[in-house]
Structure 1
Amino acid sequence: MPTPTPTPPSRLFPGWYVVAGAFAVTFLGFGSAYTFSAFVDSLQTDFEASRGSVSLVFSLAGFLYFALGVISGPLADRWGSRTMAIIGMLFTGAGLMLAGLARNLMEVYLAYGLGVGLGIGFSYVPAVGAVQRWFSRRRGFASGLAVSGIGVGTLFMPPIAALLIEALGWRQSYLLIGAVTLVLGLVLSLLIQNDPRDRGLYPDGDPAPPPGTVSDGMQVGEAIRSKRFLLLYAAGLIASFGLFVPFVHLVPYARDHGIDSASAALLLGAVGVGSTAGRFLLGSLADKWGRQVTLMAMFMGMALSLLIWLFSRDFWGLSLFGFVFGVFYGGFVALIPALAMDYFGGRHISSIIGVLYTSVALGTLIGPTAAGYIFDLSHSYTVPILASIATNILAAAIMTRIPKVRSVPSCSTPALEKET
């Protein structure tokens, strides 16, 4: 392998450009995906469908964009994160535009479910995995900044979608959102670079460490057989059954309680505001407090916030829920990849994160759809909300069983306590 040519020092560490590219990918991908709640009523009306069957569209996409990390992660390790992000943005934009042309609900499943699912699945893990390689000491903050694109996208995109639907109709809205996502996504994905060592750099812009101190970390097979991975996987799987219920059902819930469509769409904006704050604030604080204990607190925080939803019927109560839930959800999203890097390190991080996210995929497929069908039977969201609370509490309990990281060296595999 040829020796990389060192890059002359510059004012801005190039890792921040990678963060900007990952921010753009998450903003456009998840921001457009989370507009789905604004389209639920239109899809139900036009296709004479139940809420459960319409919810399955989002669940299918959500399953794919987390499950495909197990494929896109290794491909990013081989082909580079930029290439995978470009492919993902192509699929996402095309899927949204094709959804606007759908003649029946099955075609929405194929266009949105497969197109957006494949698009985010191919781009998210590679983009976030690249950020982990460029930072060590500030990994929590950098990761939080990168995935804050999800929060900012959730803040702006659903209200914009609601306005577009009112002005243009749902079909033209999907066409416009898809076209913008396609063009901007292709351009901004070019900011992503795979590994600082390819440019003769080291994480955080630090000087080269002493010879023999840099490790590529665990192999994928070694990592996924470890106690840390299995417990983290279990926590993510169980929590995810409830994590995405608000993203599909909060707006319909508000509409059921007499809140107009424009105001209801703003509730997802409240989730976005909280999510953005959580990724910045909690990601940075976790660098000081410890990422593992902070993630446990995120699960408990989401459980407590869901109690607000259970007892809220008006706009302001639901806005409070959206913001508080968003804060802890944002912290969760920021910490999962950073904690995986703490545990397993190295060049295989995209592959490891990809396998880890299959846990979230299963919950995303089942949770929102089950909530929709339970509503169809009972005309109530009480059972889905209570179940979501229980899953987050159980996930927090699982986190207490994971052996802790003792320290996180700048450029080497983390020192870990012995697994028991």
Structure 2
Amino acid sequence: MNTQLSNSKKMLTLAGTVLTQFALGSVYTWSLFNSPLADKLGDPISQVAFSFGILSLALAVASSLSGKLQERFGVRNVTIGAGLLLGGSLVLTSHASSLWMLYLFAGLLVGYADGTGYLMTLTNCVKLFPKNKGLASACAIGAYGLGSLGFKFINVYLLSHFGLSQTFNLWGGIAMVMVIVGGLMMTDAPKQEATSADNQQATTDNKVFDYTLPQAIKTSQFWMLAVMFLTVCMSGLYVIGVAKDVGQNYVHLSAETAASAVAIIAVANLLGRLVLGIMSDRIARTRVIALALVVCFVGVASLVFLHLNSLSFYFAVACIAFSFGGTITVYPSLVSDFFGLNNVTKNYGVIYLGFGVGSFAGSIVASLFGGFVATFYLMLALIVVSIVMAVTIKLPGAPKDSTSHARQSNVAVQQN
């Protein structure tokens, strides 16, 4: 069985993944639409913004299922299907005339389309470059972050010139074309052989075994990684989803000044993806995650304890976005460090449910306890717990019920 692809196919798949991720990242401009949608529907912004929590949850669920879809239909066909669903869902959102329609179209359908394409194309790309997983992940997820920045300007322009409904139609058309074209450029990564690898970071004889999902979920490390991931996602997604509203209603900034937070978040998100993603090929990824959590703690603590003005608000949300972007870039490779590369789409897919659960939980806490501050305090507590986990977690040994062959880790996880 041929387990190699030509360099041209690898690079074409990388380019297609970057294009697809750029379009899928456009959902992170959602806070731009909360106020216009609230005016259109006549409902409170808090209830309208809840659609982003539903979107994030649907995205996470779809991501956890995308590995099975890829096995059956291939990365190209599933990506094209995701593009068609994303475009159609945004068009349907333009016709939403009630909250339940908004939750269905913008929440469930857009989230499902985005999640189906996001994790599958990312892990497929990472598997093509096993010796440079961090760099490949940084390129792909960096494009996802850059998409939120690029579409911030696109969607602001469309809103000001074409109105709310037509903006959703045009946004859907642009994103659909980009995802379909990207999908046509992709090839499925071959199954990785269990071979040793020379890596500049590998300093021990630690071994990583290919865990199946049932084997991985029996380990304590799996659930520690899941809690750490949920923590950063709760912080990042909640703040991203309501950044403009936090700026206006909590910091008391003007609408224009608060809206600039969307661009600040996009830039910081992108920098986190690139900086921490590249760093993760040079030092132990658990240490990179610990650093990301410390930065997140600084950002959330600033929102709670500092006297906020525009600059301190921008600093706080930038820290949170930097941490979030870097964490989701490093995590596919981190999961493969612990549980092997061949099953990373399925193993990371379950951990990735924390992406949606975190965002959803943040919105629920804010709704039940009267606003942003309660969620901020919950974030702080979870971040402290996660930092302890990040500095104490150890690499698992061979699964007890496994018959798979051990292989040397591409990137050794430091045992401290």
TM range (shorter): 0.7 to 0.9
Mean Cα deviation higher: 229-238 or 329-338: 229-238
1:188 — aligned with what? 182
1:401 — aligned with what? 392
Query: In 2, Cα distance between the equivalents of 1:368 and 1:250?
Result: 13
Q: Which amino acid aligns with 1:255?
A: Q
Q: Deviations over 1:8-62 (max 9, x none)?
A: 6x5xx6433333322222221122x112100111111221212331122111110
Identify which of 224, 228, 232 aligns with 2:225: 232
Q: Deviations over 1:335-381 (max 9, x none)?
A: 1111011111232221111111112221122213432554xx3xx53
Query: In 2, Cα distance between the equivalents of 1:297 and 1:215?
Result: 23
Alignment of 1:151-300 (within 5 A): 151-196=145-190, 217-256=210-249, 257=251, 259-300=253-294
Q: Which amino acid aligns with 2:381?
A: A
8 Å CA contact retained: 1:134, 1:203:
no
Distance change >3 Å, CA 325–CA 362, structure 1 → 2: closer
Aligned pair 1:351/2:328, yes or no? no
2:379 — aligned with what? 388
Query: In 1, Cα distance between the equivalents of 2:156 and 2:37?
Result: 13
1:24 — aligned with what? 19
1:338 — aligned with what? 333
Distance change >3 Å, CA 78–CA 134, structure 1 → 2: same
Query: In 2, Cα distance between the equivalents of 1:17 and 1:315?
Result: 42
Distance change >3 Å, CA 64–CA 37, structure 1 → 2: same
Give the secondary structure class of the aligned counterpart of 1:383: helix
Distance change >3 Å, CA 7–CA 157, structure 1 → 2: closer
Unaligned residue ranges in structure 2 (runs of 5+): 200-206, 398-405
8 Å CA contact retained: 1:271, 1:323:
yes
Aligned pair 1:319/2:317, yes or no? no
Distance change >3 Å, CA 405–CA 274, structure 1 → 2: farther
8 Å CA contact retained: 1:345, 1:413:
no
1:302 — aligned with what? 296
Q: Which amino acid aligns with 1:395?
A: S
8 Å CA contact retained: 2:196, 2:409:
no
TM-score, scaled to structure 2: 0.86
Query: In 1, Cα distance between the equivalents of 2:72 and 2:344?
Result: 12
8 Å CA contact retained: 2:209, 2:339:
no
TM-score, scaled to structure 1: 0.85
Query: In 2, Cα distance between the equivalents of 1:196 and 1:315?
Result: 49
Unaligned residue ranges in structure 1 (runs of 5+): 207-213
Q: Deviations over 1:46-103 (max 9, x none)?
A: 2121233112211111001112222112222343222222222221111111111112
8 Å CA contact retained: 2:285, 2:330:
yes
Distance change >3 Å, CA 262–CA 224, structure 1 → 2: same
Q: Which amino acid aligns with 1:318?
A: F
8 Å CA contact retained: 2:66, 2:116:
yes
Give the secondary structure class of the aligned counterpart of 1:403: coil
Deviation at 1:7, TM superposition (A): 5.6
Deviation at 1:227, TM superposition (A): 2.2
1:211 — aligned with what? none
Q: Which amino acid aligns with 2:229?
A: G
Distance change >3 Å, CA 49–CA 389, structure 1 → 2: same
Q: Which amino acid aligns with 1:381?
A: F
8 Å CA contact retained: 2:23, 2:175:
yes
2:97 — aligned with what? 103
Distance change >3 Å, CA 87–CA 28, structure 1 → 2: same
2:80 — aligned with what? 86
Query: In 2, Cα distance between the equivalents of 1:194 and 1:83?
Result: 10
Q: Which amino acid aligns with 1:100?
A: S
Distance change >3 Å, CA 152–CA 372, structure 1 → 2: farther
Query: In 1, Cα distance between the equivalents of 2:210 and 2:357?
Result: 27
8 Å CA contact retained: 2:51, 2:103:
yes
Deviation at 1:111, TM superposition (A): 1.0
Q: Which amino acid aligns with 1:348?
A: N
Query: In 1, Cα distance between the equivalents of 2:311 and 2:154?
Result: 20
Q: Which amino acid aligns with 1:158?
A: K
Q: Which amino acid aligns with 1:360?
A: F
8 Å CA contact retained: 2:61, 2:112:
no
| Corresponding residue pairs, total | 396
8 Å CA contact retained: 1:275, 1:323:
yes
Q: Deviations over 1:179-238 (max 9, x none)?
A: 11111111112222221469x9x999x9xxxxxxx9982222112212221211122234
1:209 — aligned with what? none
Mean Cα deviation higher: 224-233 or 138-147: 224-233
Q: Which amino acid aligns with 1:184?
A: M
Query: In 2, Cα distance between the equivalents of 1:6 and 1:30?
Result: 30
Distance change >3 Å, CA 197–CA 352, structure 1 → 2: closer
Q: Which amino acid aligns with 1:386?
A: Y
Identify which of 142, 164, 187 aligns with 2:136: 142
Deviation at 1:273, TM superposition (A): 1.0
Q: Which amino acid aligns with 2:156?
A: A
Q: Deviations over 1:94-123 (max 9, x none)?
A: 111111111222211111112211101211
8 Å CA contact retained: 1:144, 1:284:
yes
